[in-house]
Amino acid sequence: MTTALSAPSSAPPVPAGVDGLRLDERVAARYADLPPQERKGADVLLEHFGDLATYSAAELATLAGVSKATMSRLFRSLGFDDFTQVRDHLRALRGHGLPMTLGSATDLDAHAEAEGAAVRCAVAALAVHLDAVADLLAHAPRVVVVGLRTSYPVALHLRQQLTQVRPQVALLPQPGQSWSEDVVDLSPQDAVVLVAFRRRPPGVRALAERLRAAGTPVVLLADPTARALATHVTWWVECPVQTRGAFDSYAAASSVVALLADAVLTRRGRTGEQRVTAIDSAYRTLGEVEAR
C-alpha cells in the first residue's frame, strides 16, 4: 500500500511512451509476450517498482539473474530507449505525486470504471479454475488461509466466509505468532489459500515452495506482481489492485472471495445449508447480531 505525495503545479509531464501507460502498466500489458529471461527482469521491475530509481541497470540485472543486455532489451520492449529514460519516467511520476488522489466527479467516474474492469478481470481469472478450486475448498479435510500485511484483511474475510459453510478452516498467521507450527503437518489432502498482494514479505515465497514440496494444493490470490510466485502454486487467481488513487483497491479480491464462498456452499449441498442455518441460530441465541 502506498501513499500519495502532493503534486507540484510545476511538475514536468509524465513521459507516457507510445501507449500512454506507466511502467507498471506496460509490464502488466506485455508480460505474456516477453521471452522468459525478460520476464525475470520484468518481475524485478514490479517487485521494486517503488524504489527502482535507486538502482542501476546493472544492479537490476543482477537481482533478476539476467544479463545487462537482457535488461536493455526489456526496456526497449516496454517502450523506453534505455534505463536513463526509465529513470526520467519514474522521476516524473514522483513529481506528479503518483499514485494521485481523486478530486473531481470525472475522477470518481473513472475510478468506478476502473474498479469494474478490475473485477471483470479477476472474475475471468477465477472462471478458468473455479470448478477445481471450489471442489478442493469444499471437500479438503482442512483449509488454511494465509495472509500477511495488506493481504490479511482479504484472508480474514475469506476465512470468515468459508467457515460459514464448512468446518476446519484456519487463518494464518495468528496475531503475534509464526506459521511453521501450523503448516508442518499439512498433507496433499489439505488445501491452502495463499493471499499475497504486493509488498509481500520474503517468507511468502519460502512458504509456497515448502507447500509445493509437500504436495499440498495451493490457491494463490494475488496481483500481477506475483507472477514469479505463481510458478510455485497449483492455481493462481489474478486480482488487480492497481488504481490511479492513492491506495491499492481490493474490490476485485473481495468479489472473488464472495464468488468462491458461494461456489463452495453449492458444492457442500445440504450439509453446507445445515451449517449456515445452525450458525444463524447460534447468532440469535448468543445475541451476536441484531435481530431481524
Number of domains into which the chain is organized: 2
Does residue 2 form part of some domain? no
Indicate whether 128 and 262 sit together in one domain: yes
Q: Which three cell numbers stand for residue 27?
A: 509490464
CA–CA separation, 283 and 292 (whole Å): 11
Instruction: Check pLDDT > 50 for residue 1.
Output: no
Instruction: Check pLDDT > 60 for residue 100.
Output: no
What local confidence, expressed as pLDDT, does residue 106 receive?
56
What local confidence, expressed as pLDDT, does residue 152 receive?
92
With cut-offs at 50, 70 and 90, classify the pLDDT of residue 56.
Answer: confident
What local confidence, expressed as pLDDT, does residue 2 receive?
33
Indicate whether 56 and 127 sit together in one domain: no
Mean pLDDT check: name the lowest of 26-30, 88-92, 165-169: 88-92
pTM of this prediction exceeds 0.85: no
Does residue 277 form part of some domain? no
More confident residue, 1 or 44: 44
What local confidence, expressed as pLDDT, does residue 276 receive?
81
* In contact, 149 and 200? CB cutoff 8 Å: yes
Give the three-class secondary structure for 233.
Answer: coil
Indicate whether 128 and 216 sit together in one domain: yes
Indicate whether 182 and 255 sit together in one domain: yes
Does residue 139 form part of some domain? yes
Q: Which domain holds residue 38?
A: 23-95
Does residue 273 form part of some domain? no
Indicate whether 160 and 241 sit together in one domain: yes
Indicate whether 70 and 178 sit together in one domain: no
What CATH number has the domain bearing residue 47?
1.10.10.10
Q: Which element (helix H / strand E) includes 281?
A: helix 251-286
> Among the three residues 95, 125, 141, which one is the final residue of a domain in this structure?
95
